[in-house]
Amino acid sequence: MENEKSASSSTFKMGNSAQERSLPYVPDCYAVPPSYEPRDALDSTSESVPTIDISRLKDSDDERRRVIQEMRLACQSFGFFQIVNHGIDQSTLDDALAVAEGFFELPAKEKNKFMSNDVYAPVRYTTSLKDGMDKIQFWRIFLKHYAHPLHRWIHLWPQNPPEYREKMGKFCQEMRILSLEIMGAITESLGLGRDYLSSRMDENGMQVMAVNCYPPCPDPKTALGLPPHSDYSCITILLQNLTGLEIFDLTAHDGSGRWVHVPEVKGVLMVHIGDHVEVLSNGLYKSVIHKVNLNEEKTRISLASLHSLGMDDKMSVPCQLVNDENPVRYRESSFNDFLDFLVKNDISQGFRFIDTLKIKY
Ligand code: OGA
Ligand code: NI
């Protein structure tokens, strides 16, 4: 088996990946180059992650303004914040994690029904980023499925575990309501008003669930669960059962940045600013670069709910945010444009969708 150590990515396709087979070593094509891992840039403390009590959005106008100001600061400095008092029952979160875990524990035959390498498929089960195709492989197995409108997609979701549709469906609906509330606050924080995107996100918007599983890795310092990347979405709401997520704080160390470890606190949800809010803010808010570290002993499950405009609805810079000093800094783009980008580019090599949108003056 040792000759597999130096085999190329294509050896580790779905069904044969190192993470599915629990290989006792990390094959070379999973090793991330040192440039990915400025370990000295890692701060092990997590004190500096902004945390926002969003129940206050429903308080007095003054209190809402204060929360929105906190969000504005978090979006400008980190492109990331944690939310507490979001009003979602702990049981809804626990149940969704449990059915996700149950799905990954099913026999391969059952899971393989959803296997697909087509990034346009509304439901797909695969490994790494693009299974066996990118130069570097990642120690991840995932199921992605569309979630809005629920009735249009839920019949395509797994029927096993038997409660998957019900429990994951409930979680998705709650995430969706929350995403609309947060997006309203974000557009308000940009001076665009609370309803600037409501109709485009509500009836016609997309919600994609990434249900991620990171099995234990024999050498967690060598491989990664996911490489540094930002999400294409407007916002992503994330729930994790274990630590592993790290976000890049661009402003630290006089602009050279540092990795910040995000703790796992029961009931807390994390909000990532995605590329489409960076565009919406004309660059005032930054989509957060994040990556996933691995664990030697435990399986990590994360649920990432990505919220964006409709498939072909283009996000562009609002004219209200453009003036002589602030020209339009990004080209318009849709979710579908992102998928086209994903097909053509190897994200493991650091290519970012947002960079293709930037207008140079
Ligand atoms: C993602 C992602 C983070 C995690 O699915 O885009 O960044 O913690 N997930 O799994
Ligand atoms: Ni992500």
Residue type, 182: I
22 lies in some domain = no
Interaxial angle between packed helices 61-77 and 164-189, expressed in degrees from 0 to 180 and rounded to the nearest 10: 100
- Ligand 2: distance of its center to the CA of 45 in Å? 21
Per-residue confidence band for 44, with pLDDT thresholds at 50, 70 and 90: low
pLDDT above 70 covers a percentage of the chain that reads 95
Nearest in space to 289 (alpha carbons), one of 41, 34, 97, 44: 41
Report the CATH number that the domain containing residue 75 is assigned in CATH: 2.60.120.330
Give the residue among 339, 313, 111, 342 at the shortest CA–CA distance from 213.
Answer: 111
- Quick check: 316 pLDDT over 70? yes
Q: Does 34 score more than 90 pLDDT?
A: no
Indicate whether 35 pLDDT > 80.
no
146 pLDDT above the threshold of 90? yes
Q: Which residue carries 């400025």 as its tokens?
A: 38
Burial label for 146, CB within 10 Å (0-12, 13-18, 19+), is buried
Cα distance between residue 189 and residue 255, in whole Å:
24
Q: Full-prediction pTM beyond 0.85?
A: yes
Structural domain contains residue 24: no
Write out residues with Cβ below 6 Å of ligand 1: 210, 212, 226, 231, 238, 240, 244-245, 290, 292, 302, 304
Identify whether 349 is part of a domain.
yes
Average pLDDT estimate for 241-263: 87
Protein residues within 5 Å, CB atom, of ion ligand 2:
231
Question: Is 202 domain-assigned?
Answer: yes
Residue 240: count of CB within 10 angstroms of its CB: 23
Classify residue 31: in a domain, yes or no.
no
For atom 2 of ligand 1, the residue with the nearest CA is 304
Whether residue 172 has pLDDT greater than 70: yes
Lowest mean pLDDT among 22-31, 99-108, 174-183, 326-335: 22-31
Three-class SS state of 150: helix
* 182 inside domain: yes
Q: What is the mean pLDDT of the chain?
A: 92
- Count of structural domains within the chain: 1
Domain that holds residue 70: 48-356
- pLDDT band at residue 323 under the 50/70/90 scheme: very high
pLDDT at 133 over 80: no
Residues 271-292 have pLDDT tens digits of 999 999 999 999 999 999 999 9
Helix (H, G, I), strand (E, B) or coil at 209: strand
Confirm whether 42 is domain-assigned.
Answer: no
Q: pLDDT class for 264, splitting at 50, 70, 90?
A: confident
Residue 258: per-residue pLDDT: 85
| pLDDT tens, residue by residue, 92-114 | 999 999 999 999 999 999 999 99
Residue 285 counted as domain residue: yes
Pairwise CA distance, residues 216 & 139, whole Å: 9
